[in-house]
Structures are given as structure tokens and as C-alpha cells.
Structure 1
Amino acid sequence: MSPDRSQTAYAASAADLAVRALDALRGIGGTAMVAEHVERAEDPKAALAAIRVVGADTFAPYLLADAVFHPQDAAAVTQSFALFPPPVSTPDPPPAGAAEPWLVAWRDWAMAALLARLAEAEPDGVRAPRPTGAPVLTDPDHSQVSDAPAGQGSDSHAAHGDGLPTPDSGAPDDSGPRDTDWQRWSVRMGQLSPLALPGLDGPVHSAARAAPLALARGATRAVLRRDFPTAARITRWLALLGAEGVALPLDPVPLLAHLRLHGGGPRLALDVAIARRLLGLETV
């Protein structure tokens, strides 16, 4: 299989797994959802890769709905780690290291941590230590608001920088102001949205709790730019904060209703459904 065909197969399989997770979140489908995804796949390797792509969100039906985590699901996730193992050493955070490997390490950690929780023991061969280090989010007055790992996003500025600049260090973007730190930070936090699930906690979550206004501004900006996938990912953090009782500067419920109207594929639908479940809304 050519690299292009392989990537297409991986993307298609990831979309299929997202649909299965969404159905399970809605109470549709049978048991052992993850194992069934692998067993019925025409390309088992692509199916196992999809588990790593969807990541911790694979576990959303078990954390937020009535789906029961099956031992066969644990075996399938463990097999995906065996076939696509995380790096032996934890990548350095930006700017010392490249952003993407570090972000993948955070997502791998989230998946391994939830697997250990649901399986009530860490399966052999699953190793994904929690990364360290954090870029800094500063407010317009240059005082430190929080520090946390950040993720690559679809925002053009976020996609090319390794670290997060302070407001004065980046070039002006097309919206005018030089204070763009919250923009880049919120988009990158969106790329870590699989961590916005119950049962996980760490510096990423602490950063979200310390900067709900930056997340609200980022979600609003993404909607205005019609970047609905990014808006949904950032809004998940707002939903998690709301579930924890954090005061929010923006009501995420109408925002999620707006995002549902624009489609965007199974991944966006899964993000919206998870956010709605976090907020305790019955209909996802």
C-alpha cells in the first residue's frame, strides 16, 4: 500500500471509530465496541492506528454513558500500543523540542491513564509517561496567567510555531492586535481536547481552570472564522470547567447548539456530543 493510500485508510478508519464511539455514547450498538472495530476492519493495521488517532476519546462512552468496558476492548487498545509504540523517552517541550511529538505524548498519556483506570490495572506493554514542561500564557498586562502544554491547531499561527510567544513577541495577525497569545494558546489547547474528560488531571487541566476567558475568546474567534472543528475542541474545555463548577464567561450550551448545525464529520460530532454529556445534557 502506498503512503497516500495508507494515510487515506487510516483517516477512514479513524472516522469509522469516531462514529462507533458516538453511537456508543448514545446507547447504540453492542459490547466491546473497540474490539469490534478491529475485528470487522478490512485493514486491521489501519483499525489499530485509528485507536491511537481517536485516542482517549475512544473511552468517552465508558466514562460518560452506560457503556461497559470489555476486556476485549482493553486487549485491542493494548495491541494498538504494541503496534504503534510511543517513543522510549518523553519528548522535550517546545521550544526545546518540536511541538507535535510532545503533543502526541500528552495524548498518549491520557489514553494510557484512562486505560489503566478502566481496566483497573495498566496492561503489560502500555507505557506512556506524562510529559513535563509548559509554555506560558500571559495576559495583556504581561502577568502570568497559567502554564500548560499546548497543542497544534488549525490556526495558521499555531500551526507553525514550536512554543507560545508572549503578546509582544509575535507578528500582528490579520485581526489587528499584537496581543495574540490567547489566540494561539486556546487553539493549541483545543488540540489537547482528548484530555478534557473526567478521570484525568494535570497541568493542562490546571491551565484551563486558570484561563476560562482565554478559552471563551478562542472558541468565539474560531466560530467567527468558521473553524468549527477548532471551536468544538476548545468548547470541550469550557464544558469540562462548567461540569467542575468553574464560573464561565460564556454559556457553552448555545455555542454547542450552533456547532451541531454545521456538521463537519464524525470527529466534530463526537467532540460536541462529549461536551454536551459533560454539561449533563440528556440529548447528545
Structure 2
Amino acid sequence: MAVRALDALRGVEGAALVARHVEEAADPKAALAAIRLVGADLFAPHLLADAVLLPEDAMAVVQSFTVFPPPVSVPAAPPAGPAEPWIAAWRDWATSALLARFSGGETLVPEPVGAPVAEEPDASDGSDGSDGSGSDWQRWSVRMGQLSPLALPGLDGPVHAAARRAPLALARGASRAVLRRDFPTAMRITRWLALLAAEGARLPLDPAPLVEHLRLLGGGPRLALDAAIAGRLLAPARRDRA
């Protein structure tokens, strides 16, 4: 599924997205699960490359929510509740919100509450840690990386506000992941830096060489899709600087 989205983002002739993926799959149910896993990034070609969302593709996304329905109740944000259901709820919301935007329908899931916060603030520097700048910036940045499918234009909310408040924590998190050779995590965090750059924010590092570095060193279609999305986000920023 990530490969199909990547091909569509690159404008590969004849590239199709979700409907054909389900139709051609040996296990259609597994293909629907893949739609949920890739989530909002399925809409990257429509947001960043002017691809047209076909009605059958929209229906396949709806079908994925029907076969794998989200929880009825909205999960509580950590630390009041476990992180995994809350992260899944935000990712489902992003998929649903973009589906509604392109299909003209209603969102299939409600917007969750809250955004990642640093749970162990560093009182010595006068920070309350809520911007990810305290002693827990490592875990905060990883949590933001887990929410990287939200790092797309056309989406906005408390998670995006948290990213805008803490570009330094994001830069630290991405750099730390690179040093640990955890390239998928580094790429996911770097997507937020790319989105902030596209919005015109001043950043403590230039994400463009970092994206290229991770694209070359990392592997797999998921990282390649993240890198392609980040590259598309950065293209207008690079033109503006030129």
C-alpha cells in the first residue's frame, strides 16, 4: 500500500491507489488493514501532487473503517490512558478528516483530545516541559514521530500546535534517532520539521539534507514514502529561499 501511495506521489503513469490494491490482493481483508495502517498518507498524492481522488478509492477507505471499526469511545490522552489507542485514534481522525475533505462527506471518527506533552519537566531550566523542551524531550519527540501521518498540509489541531511550540525538541529527537541509527524514527520526526519549514517557521537545523541522508541510508517503502512526503513539503520552502 505504501508503494502504491509512493508511486502516485511520484506521478508514475497508471499508478492506482487503494481500490485497486484491495481488488488485486490475495487477502482483501489484509489489504483493508493496510489502508488503515498507511492512513492519512494515502492522501499525500492528492495534497502534494494534485492527484485526483477517485470515488472507488474513497469507498475503499470507508470500507476499511467498516471492516475495522475504531473504538466507540474516544481514548483518553496519556498519561490518563494508554498511549497506543490514543495514537491510533489521532491517526484514524487524520485519515477521516482528509477523506471528508476530498469526498465532501462527514468525518467518520471524532477528533481526539490532547497532544503529546513531556511528562518529566526539567525544573532547573525554568521550563514546565509542555513544549517538549524539558528533560523528557526524547520520549516526546518519539511520540510525535508516532503521529507523523498528521504532518500533512490540510490538517491542524493540538498535535500540530505542539510541534510548532517545540522545533528544538523535534530537531534534538531527529538527531538522536540518526545517531542511534534508528532511521525510521528519525524520518518520522523529520516530517514534522519539514511541515514547519513549509509553514515558514525558523528551525534549528535545515531538514532538507537530513531528509536526503535518511532517504539514502534508510530502507523500505514506508521510510521512502515518508521521505518523499517530506521532500514535497520542503520544495516550496527551498524555492522561497532561492
Give the TM-score, by structure 1 length.
Answer: 0.78
Tell whether the 8 Å contact from 1:18 to 1:270 is kept in structure 2 after alignment.
Answer: yes
Tell me, yes or no, if structure 1 residue 85 matches structure 2 residue 66: no
1: CA distance, partners of 2:223 / 2:163: 20
**Residue equivalent to 1:256:** 211
SS in 2 for 1:197: coil
1:32 Cα deviation from its structure 2 partner: 4.8
2:227 to 272, 279, 284: 272
**Letter paired with 2:140:** W
Tell whether the 8 Å contact from 2:115 to 2:162 is kept in structure 1 after alignment.
Answer: no
Tell me, yes or no, if structure 1 residue 245 matches structure 2 residue 200: yes
1: CA distance, partners of 2:197 / 2:189: 13
Greater helix proportion: 2
2: CA distance, partners of 1:215 / 1:142: 19
**Residue equivalent to 1:101:** 85
Tell me, yes or no, if structure 1 residue 130 matches structure 2 residue 96: no
Tell me, yes or no, if structure 1 residue 213 matches structure 2 residue 194: no
Tell whether the 8 Å contact from 2:137 to 2:173 is kept in structure 1 after alignment.
Answer: yes
1:127 Cα deviation from its structure 2 partner: 2.4
2: CA distance, partners of 1:103 / 1:206: 16
Percent identity (aligned): 74
Tell whether the 8 Å contact from 2:114 to 2:158 is kept in structure 1 after alignment.
Answer: no
**Letter paired with 1:129:** P
1:173-212, aligned counterparts within 5 Å?
Answer: 179=135, 181-212=136-167
**Residue equivalent to 1:33:** 17
- Cα deviation, 1:143-194, whole Å, max 9, x if unaligned, reads 235469xxxxxxxxxxxxxxxxx96xxxxxxxxxxx3x11110011000000
2: CA distance, partners of 1:207 / 1:101: 19
Tell whether the 8 Å contact from 1:56 to 1:194 is kept in structure 2 after alignment.
Answer: yes
2: CA distance, partners of 1:260 / 1:98: 32
**Residue equivalent to 2:125:** 141
2: CA distance, partners of 1:102 / 1:142: 29
- In structure 2, relative to structure 1, the CA distance for the partners of 1:74 and 1:135 (3 Å cut) is closer
Tell me, yes or no, if structure 1 residue 44 matches structure 2 residue 28: yes
Tell whether the 8 Å contact from 1:105 to 1:131 is kept in structure 2 after alignment.
Answer: yes
- Cα deviation, 1:100-150, whole Å, max 9, x if unaligned, reads 00110000000000000011222xxx62111113453346624235469xx
SS in 2 for 1:221: helix
Tell me, yes or no, if structure 1 residue 20 matches structure 2 residue 1: no
Tell whether the 8 Å contact from 1:106 to 1:130 is kept in structure 2 after alignment.
Answer: yes
1:66 Cα deviation from its structure 2 partner: 2.6
1: CA distance, partners of 2:115 / 2:193: 20
SS in 2 for 1:90: coil
Runs of 5+ consecutive residues of structure 2 not aligned to the other structure: 237-242
**Letter paired with 1:105:** A
Superposition RMSD on alpha carbons, in Å? Answer: 1.9
1:253 Cα deviation from its structure 2 partner: 0.8
Tell me, yes or no, if structure 1 residue 119 matches structure 2 residue 103: yes
